[in-house]
Structure 1
Amino acid sequence: MTQAGKSESRSRPFVGVLVAAFTLLSITGSAAANGDLPKPVQAWYQALGDVDRKGLDSMLAEGARIELRDLGIVQTKGEFLDSLDAWAEANRDAEILTRPGKNTGDADAVSVEVCYRFPSNEALFKETFRLEGEQIIESVQEQMAESCGEF
């Protein structure tokens, strides 16, 4: 097997975890503690880490859209909430770290850099939220790197 083949086969379990995990998004740890993020975004990460279905249901607007751009997946609010059982299984022993992302130039968008750390893998993502009042109307997630570097 070539070096590229070895690398590809090692990343397959990670991709499987990402599909399950990012079909639902975030984790536990210091994510919710990042006071530099708007309250609805902080609450998002806390509710995801706790797999708080009621909290997530109330913070997502009825027409909310969750896009996992790298995976080509777009979910409605209902589809996202239905995927939380898989998320609860996938995020066991995982940690999430957040920091404000670069300004998007859009006053209605909030950009967050997110490090997802699983026991055997990690990845760095950019997540962009669009808010309407205290509710999330859109979340778009894109992978930036296969490791979290300085997180």
Structure 2
Amino acid sequence: MRRISWRIILAATLLMSSLVRASADDGAVIDRWYSALLVADRTELSELLSDDVRMKLDDIGVVQSKQDFIASIDEWRGAVAGAAIRHRVEKSENGETTVLACYDFPSNDTLIRETFTVAGGRIVASTQTAVAQDCSAY
């Protein structure tokens, strides 16, 4: 039986701890995202998005650039007034985090699955797909 070197164990431990930290950092970025989204904070949202981000809205067949998204913030501000957004991470691996989010608007709610790719503390890709017309499954 071969003995495992302490160096290999140390390297594996360091790698695992860096992956856990990266996942935690991604979670912090996503928490900041939803907080900024709820109040339509253009500055914070802009800081969270990479310059070359692609935001895919599956249900309506649209892909937005950072500029497209930021340009829509004033309209979003009106839509999100009085709303709540609840979210929970379903899974996070290899820099990709899948979130189930309930957008609870004053007149209706909707359940959305969103997948974020985070690199360097910024969102580099996002895909959004409606799951249900209400949040009862949240």
SS in 2 for 1:80: helix
Aligned pair count? 114
For the 8 Å contact 2:54–2:66, the answer to whether it is kept is yes
Which amino acid is the alignment partner of residue 109 of structure 2?
E
* Gaps in structure 1 of 5+ consecutive residues: 1-34
* 1:4-83 to 2 correspondences below 5 Å: 38-83=27-72
Q: 1:130 aligns with which of 105, 108, 117?
A: 117
- Measure the CA separation in 2 of the matches of 1:129 and 1:42: 12
TM-score, normalised on structure 1? 0.71
Name which one, 1 or 2, has greater alpha-carbon Rg: 2
TM-score, normalised on structure 2? 0.77
How far off its partner does 1:150 sit? 4.6
RMSD: 1.7
Q: Does 1:118 align with 2:86?
A: no
* Gaps in structure 2 of 5+ consecutive residues: 1-23
> Which structure shows the higher helix fraction?
2
Superimposed CA distance per residue, residues 121-148 of structure 1 (whole angstroms, 9 cap, x where no aligned partner): 1111100000112000011100111111
> Which structure shows the higher strand fraction?
2
Percentage of identical aligned residues: 35
* Aligned equivalent of 1:143: 130
Superimposed CA distance per residue, residues 3-25 of structure 1 (whole angstroms, 9 cap, x where no aligned partner): xxxxxxxxxxxxxxxxxxxxxxx
Which amino acid is the alignment partner of residue 149 of structure 1?
S
